[in-house]
A and B are shown apart, each in its own frame.
Chain A
Amino acid sequence: MRSPSMTDDRAVLATIFGRLFENEFATLDGIAISCRSGAGMDYVDGTAGLSLWLEDEVTAAPLEPADVVAHAIHVALLAAVPEHDAVISGWSRHLRALLLEDLGVPPSTSMMRNRGVTDLAAHLVEPDQLVGPALAGTIERARTLAESSGMRHLLIVTTEGLVVVSGSPPFEAMAHWHNVEFAARIECMRIEGLAMHRLET
């Protein structure tokens, strides 16, 4: 049960954090979640997300974002896409393993294809395209790609495995974000299974 002092917007952040963290989709290393609110934007990242989810009254929760780069991305996305209510960013660890081993991006699952993501490679950007003056152009290209693909959400993936999604409502954005890690898990399992099969035959 959420504490009476927690606003609905903060409760959404806490729930999204918990659902992604409990199932090991999100790691404390890089997760950031924001929702549009009356005050502008509610935002948590990393261990502040854990504290919020735990309703931690003991630890002094940080007032400032721990990840200023992620925070800037969230602010820019919500400003650029008024129809979206939430942004989720974080590492997809299986995608990161695939990319670091030059195994490319995983094939889109039907869940992704049905939502307009037919080729994950089309969403790849270099990490420096998410900082500074390059960020606005990256968001604009993601928006154009989303419109041409019939997507309800924006998806940006770095070549290091950081996944950024904006969408609406917030839980749908959460599902879009987790779809990438889910597809990458399947691809890693496929490769490992193939390797085992070849060793046995």
Chain B
Amino acid sequence: MDTGSYEPARRLLARVAGLLYDRRLTELQGGNMSLRVGDAVVMTPTKASENTGWRLEAQDTLVQDLDGELLIGDAAKISREIRIHMRLYRTFPDVGCVFHLHLPEAIAAAAGRWEPGVVAATPDPYGAAVVVLERDLRAQTEPHDARAVELLGRVSRAEGALAIGSMHGTFGVARDLPTNVRAADVLRQRLDLERLRGRLKPWRTGAEA
């Protein structure tokens, strides 16, 4: 594949990385995103958040094939999280986009009321399937990644699916990039709505009097 053919995907990923931060779906010390293009994966570089504040240009992104060979970019800039991205692409042929986001609403829910395992096997009620990893699984370890893949394999990925690591973040998978943005955004909106309702609940009609 001509390296120029990756340019639309590189531009799109660079722009969306900034959008995900602007939309409060991640923060400034972590997160990484990737997009499948044929037999290769376009990915954000390591420390994109700290080094650029998520203001990426297309040329900042890297391209690696599914066998791990770097096609475009500097090998020193490959994120260590890319291992789980590649594992997800290899395991699930239907997955075209992977986001690792530090999504506070999801981290809080997984640290609090949600128990490890499958929270929602279908897009109802959170807009995407949701699974939670066990709290003793450390990120960037084989047991963590294996459990994320196993749980994501047990749920519907039709509208996207998110695995939430304890006090870490989400690993979201979807067939394409817009669906993956939607999965994270709708999950956040619905968790936000639940918290808003909780704050309003004591003030139902009549309670204000």
The reply on B113 being an interface residue by CB < 8 A is: no
The residue on A at minimum CB distance from B175 is: A59
A22 interface neighbour in B12, B22, B200, Cβ under 8 Å: B22
Interface string of A18-42 (1 = CB under 8 A from B): 0001101001110000000000000
- Using known A-B contacts A93-B193, A97-B200, determine if residue A104 contacts B176 with beta carbons closer than 8 Å: no
- Using known A-B contacts A58-B37, A194-B208, determine if residue A28 contacts B185 with beta carbons closer than 8 Å: yes
B182 near A47 with CB under 8 A, answer yes
Main secondary structure of the interface of A (DSSP, over half): helix
Number of A-B contacts (CB under 8 A): 84
A101 near B178 with CB under 8 A, answer no
| Least CB distance, A27 to chain B, in whole angstroms | 5
- Using known A-B contacts A47-B181, A58-B37, A195-B199, determine if residue A27 contacts B205 with beta carbons closer than 8 Å: no
The reply on A128 being an interface residue by CB < 8 A is: no
Q: What's the Cα separation between A102 and B2 when bound, in Å?
A: 59
Residue of B22, B23, B178, B202 most packed against chain A (CB within 10 A): B178
Q: What's the Cα separation between A57 and B19 when bound, in Å?
A: 17
Q: What's the Cα separation between A29 and B197 when bound, in Å?
A: 18
The reply on A46 being an interface residue by CB < 8 A is: yes
| Least CB distance, B122 to chain A, in whole angstroms | 15
- Using known A-B contacts A29-B189, A58-B9, A97-B193, determine if residue A50 contacts B208 with beta carbons closer than 8 Å: no
B199 near A54 with CB under 8 A, answer no
Interface string of B28-49 (1 = CB under 8 A from A): 0000000101000000000000
- What residues of chain B lie closer than 8 Å to A50, measured between beta carbons? 178, 181-182
Interface string of A183-196 (1 = CB under 8 A from B): 00000100110110
A-B contact pairs, 16 of them (CB 8 A): A27-B185, A47-B179, A50-B178, A50-B182, A56-B12, A56-B178, A58-B177, A93-B189, A93-B196, A97-B196, A101-B197, A102-B205, A103-B200, A188-B196, A188-B200, A195-B203
B196 near A94 with CB under 8 A, answer yes
Q: Which of A75-109 contact B (CB under 8 A)?
A: 93-94, 96-98, 100-104
- What residues of chain B lie closer than 8 Å to A102, measured between beta carbons? 204-205
The reply on A51 being an interface residue by CB < 8 A is: yes
A residues bordering B, Cβ < 8 Å? 21-22, 24, 27-29, 46-48, 50-51, 54, 56-60, 93-94, 96-98, 100-104, 188, 191-192, 194-195
| Least CB distance, A78 to chain B, in whole angstroms | 25
| Least CB distance, B55 to chain A, in whole angstroms | 16
The residue on A at minimum CB distance from B10 is: A58
Interface string of B146-179 (1 = CB under 8 A from A): 0000000000000000000000000000001111
Identify the 5 closest CB pairs spanning chains A and B, nearest first.
A47-B178, A57-B8, A28-B182, A59-B176, A97-B196
Known: A22-B23, A46-B182, A57-B8; 8 extra A-B contacts, CB below 8 A, are A21-B23, A28-B182, A29-B182, A54-B12, A57-B12, A58-B9, A93-B189, A101-B204
| Least CB distance, B134 to chain A, in whole angstroms | 29
| Least CB distance, B70 to chain A, in whole angstroms | 20
Q: What's the Cα separation between A54 and B193 when bound, in Å?
A: 26
Q: What's the Cα separation between A96 and B176 when bound, in Å?
A: 29
The residue on B at minimum CB distance from A104 is: B205
Residue of A51, A60, A101 most packed against chain B (CB within 10 A): A101
Q: What's the Cα separation between A101 and B206 when bound, in Å?
A: 12
B192 near A93 with CB under 8 A, answer yes
- Using known A-B contacts A29-B186, A97-B196, determine if residue A103 contacts B203 with beta carbons closer than 8 Å: yes
Residue of A29, A58, A100, A191 most packed against chain B (CB within 10 A): A58
The reply on B108 being an interface residue by CB < 8 A is: no
Q: What's the Cα separation between A53 and B69 when bound, in Å?
A: 33
The residue on B at minimum CB distance from A101 is: B200
